[in-house]
Chain A
Amino acid sequence: MALLQISEPDALPAKPLRRLAVGIDLGTTNSLVATVRHGIPVVLPDAEGRPLLPSIVRYGEGDVAVGYAAQAEQARDPQNTIVSVKRLMGRGLADLADARRFPYRFVDTPGMVRIATRAGVKSPVEISAEILKSLRVRAETGLGGQLAGAVVTVPAYFDEAQRQATKDAALLAGLPVLRLLNEPTAAAIAYGLDNASEGTYAVYDLGGGTFDISILRLSKGVFEVLATNGDGALGGDDFDHRVYCWAIEDAQLPPLAPEDTRLLMVKAREAKENLTIHRSAPIGATLADGTKLDLTLTAETFTTITQNLVAKTLAPVRRALRDAGLSPADVKGVVMVGGATRMPQIQKAVAEFFGAPPLTNLNPDQVVALGAAIQANVLAGNRSDGDDWLLLDVIPLSLGLETMGGLVEKIVPRNATIPVTRAQEFTSFRDGQTAIAIHVVQGERDKVADCRSLARFELRGIPPMPAGAARVRVTFQVDADGLLSVSAREETSGTEAAIVVKPSYGLSDADIARMLEDSFRHAEDDMAARALAEAQVEADQTVAATRRALETDGDLLSPSERAAVDAALAETQRCREGADHRALAAATAALNAATAELAARRMDRGVARALTGRQIDALT
């Protein structure tokens, strides 16, 4: 402590700076933004006090409406009012089995599908960015400052293309993403911390367009995901669609115009929601040609026409339990997430499967955003004494390489806890082969053609050798954010190549740059001011972290090492006063480098402490 006083006469407030962080649930039907205030996660409402933002974007005459305003126009202007855009994220037209269900003018572009609107051709990324931008503005207004970071949730079963598309949308919306967090995991954090739960729990998450099941073990503040599974194209929307089809058949309607399709879909959804509390629901509408519709849907009929959808959710549940090596009886409680879990037939099916009524003592619409806010708060560096919990998440889908004959060799299996590093050795196929093609894929199937292609790169410059003599070691590393990097090294010659995997079928970096430029041209955001603000936040965080480290573990440094750290600290603080964001970023980087050795020694000390009381004599 004394040391600190001598070296830091102009110390910042002793309390680390609080950085504004939010959790965002970017849903198929509704989206939310939440934050942690005074240690309690809360949803941030809009100016009218409404917590939800309907995930609907309307491209009007010269303006863009998001949320309720867009929702009000959807039946009148279905081709320019985009709903359920989440179902299109990272998907090509060929991926969409249900494309005809949407009344949009699809443009089949390579990679991701796009939609022709009156404001031009839009990608799902741009449309999602409008929703995220609206939430960012809501949060910045509500919190009174620029956001330091956001945790955005995605379905656990989203693949890399869908995750990358979500990240791109956040980037486009001007949101610094701390992490993409799996939705059921977010729900488990909110539920577990709120209820101080211990034991094995399942999270059954049926959203508007996606279904996830996660099995977690909660023990002494550690949330350990054991297995996750799901269906990327199954949600409440599908229940609406069954009702819609039933209505068309029951009333013997001819093929409908886009406006009528949307109108009837809205009525179908209302009927579904009605049946949560009533035994029957009316479906009444007047179509464009004057046809009047007056139907009644009973709870029995609704259950019958949707029973195979309900059954379809139980297959992933069984798979997840099997992967976790558990039976339904091992699960202590089932947390229900997503508005669609309000349907009585879902609750009944889940209760029957697990042999116990599901837990519904929390708001299924909000719990994901609340959990994301809690995680965002920690990742932004606001961890306080009460936040002594840890999340151990998994990758949802296996990662592998293409080998001879178009087959997949899995390197990291699904449900591996991240961060994870795995390596495997391969060899050359032909005599004198000087290059090896590395094709990274994702999925559970044995053939490359049935999996998703993530990236390709080549290891060149291998000295000519007989077939089978080269030893190529390929290493996969997935960090705590789920970001994959792959490197390859030929061991006998030392030839190396590496790549950070960015799915090849998403938007290109050039696309993103162009969209960003467009959005900045239209907005008043000042990029230089933003860069400086970001550099300042980064610098403050590093300075605060260094001071805390010196305060608790300063004794680990020799006087000369200490002097080097102090000098770097002083330089960072000097640059912090100026307006040059590049100089500040460079000083912060230098401070990081100067504290590397201290970091390593502190971790040693922590590890030794963790094992104290356990087999001390086994430590060398």
Chain B
Amino acid sequence: MIDFSRNYFDLFGLPARFRFDPAALDAAYRALQREVHPDRYAAAGDAERRLALQSSARVNEAYRALKDPVARARYLLSLHGVDLRDEAENALPVEFLERQLERREAVSDALAARDAPALAALRADVDGEASREEQRVATLLDGDGDPHAARAAVRELTFLAKLAADIDAMQSGLDD
């Protein structure tokens, strides 16, 4: 049975850092699922199967939260006791917002023109900015940086991830 009070990093035996080895996470994830997945308890009793279901769902949730950089950053902030939902401190820098507004317009134009290559180029552009932002988040979260200072960077990263997901949905729409 999984200790539900343990944090996600502990669960996988990984250090609680933003920068980490994805292969180590994948390997630990597979090793844990091998132990707790309900299909491993197909021949077991109800009690064991119920435990397996809860544990396996927990491991899936933990994996999802650590695999994705935005979710991982937000989770690390929550471990540091920083609440991202605090609206008062959530204002994004004006120049960042201006840049994203321009980008949104370009995305809308590309969608209206059903221009798949242009959308793909914009998506790559967002990816580029997101990975630079990830570097910043890593420095702030993993170094001696103040987690409160990391909050702004994580907010920007979240914003970029949302934009990337929106572009993906548009690209899927164009596929039909």
Contact = CB atoms under 8 A, between A and B. Distances in A.
B48 A603 contact: yes
A416 B30 CA distance: 16
Contacts of A391: 39
A601 B30 CA distance: 21
Interface string A17-61: 000000000000000000000000000000000000000000000
A595 B41 CA distance: 13
A421 interface: yes
B1 interface: yes
Interface string B1-19: 1110010011011110000
B30 to A, nearest CB: 5
A421 B171 CA distance: 29
A76 interface: no
Given A220-B30, A315-B175, A419-B53, A545 B1 contact: no
Given A315-B175, A607-B1, A480 B56 contact: yes
A479 B37 CA distance: 10
A455 B39 CA distance: 27
A504 interface: no
Contact of B47 (A220, A383, A595): A595
B31 A611 contact: yes
Contacts of B28: 610-611, 614
B47 to A, nearest CB: 3
Interface string A470-511: 000000010110000000000000000000000000000000
Contact of A599 (B2, B13, B15, B47): B47
B89 interface: no
A380 B176 CA distance: 41
B contact residues, range: 35 or more
A514 to B, nearest CB: 30
Contacts of B30: 219-220, 222, 224, 390
B38 A419 contact: yes
B25 to A, nearest CB: 11
Interface in A597-620: 599-604, 606-607, 609-611, 614-616, 618-620
A541 B57 contact: no
Contacts of A480: 37-39, 53, 56
A609 B45 contact: no
A322 interface: yes
A592 B49 CA distance: 10
Given A420-B60, A480-B53, A618-B13, A546 B45 contact: yes
A519 B175 CA distance: 46
B113 interface: no
Contacts of A599: 44-45, 47-48, 51
Contacts of A554: none
Q: Kindly name the residue among B6, B36, B44, B168 whose own CB sees the greatest number of chain A CB atoms within 10 A.
A: B44
B115 interface: no
A16 interface: yes
Interface in A293-333: 314-316, 318-319, 322
A620 B6 contact: yes
A320 B43 CA distance: 34
B82 interface: no
B132 interface: no
A586 interface: no
A419 B60 contact: yes
Contact of A16 (B1, B43, B45, B57): B43
B168 A600 contact: no
A480 B37 CA distance: 8
B91 interface: no
Nearest to A315: B175
Contacts of B47: 592-593, 595-596, 599-600
A477 B43 contact: no
A86 B40 CA distance: 31
Contacts of A607: 1-2, 32, 35-36, 55
B31 A610 contact: yes
Contacts of A417: 60, 63-64
A222 B26 CA distance: 11
Nearest to B24: A614
Contact of A379 (B2, B15, B34, B39): B39
Contacts of A222: 30, 33-34
A322 B44 CA distance: 38
A542 interface: yes
A589 interface: yes
A378 interface: yes
Contact of B37 (A178, A219, A392, A595): A392
A314 B32 CA distance: 35
Interface of A: 16, 178, 219-220, 222, 224, 314-316, 318-319, 322, 378-381, 383, 390-392, 416-422, 477, 479-480, 541-542, 544-546, 549, 589, 591-593, 595-596, 599-604, 606-607, 609-611, 614-616, 618-620
Q: Which 8 A-B pairs have the closest CB atoms?
A: A381-B43, A596-B47, A599-B48, A592-B45, A615-B13, A315-B175, A606-B35, A480-B38
22 contacts: A315-B175, A318-B172, A378-B39, A391-B39, A417-B63, A419-B38, A421-B57, A480-B38, A545-B48, A593-B47, A595-B47, A599-B51, A600-B47, A600-B51, A606-B35, A607-B1, A607-B55, A610-B32, A611-B28, A611-B32, A614-B28, A615-B13
Given A541-B43, A606-B36, 11 more contacts: A315-B175, A378-B39, A390-B37, A417-B63, A479-B53, A545-B48, A603-B35, A607-B55, A611-B28, A614-B13, A620-B6
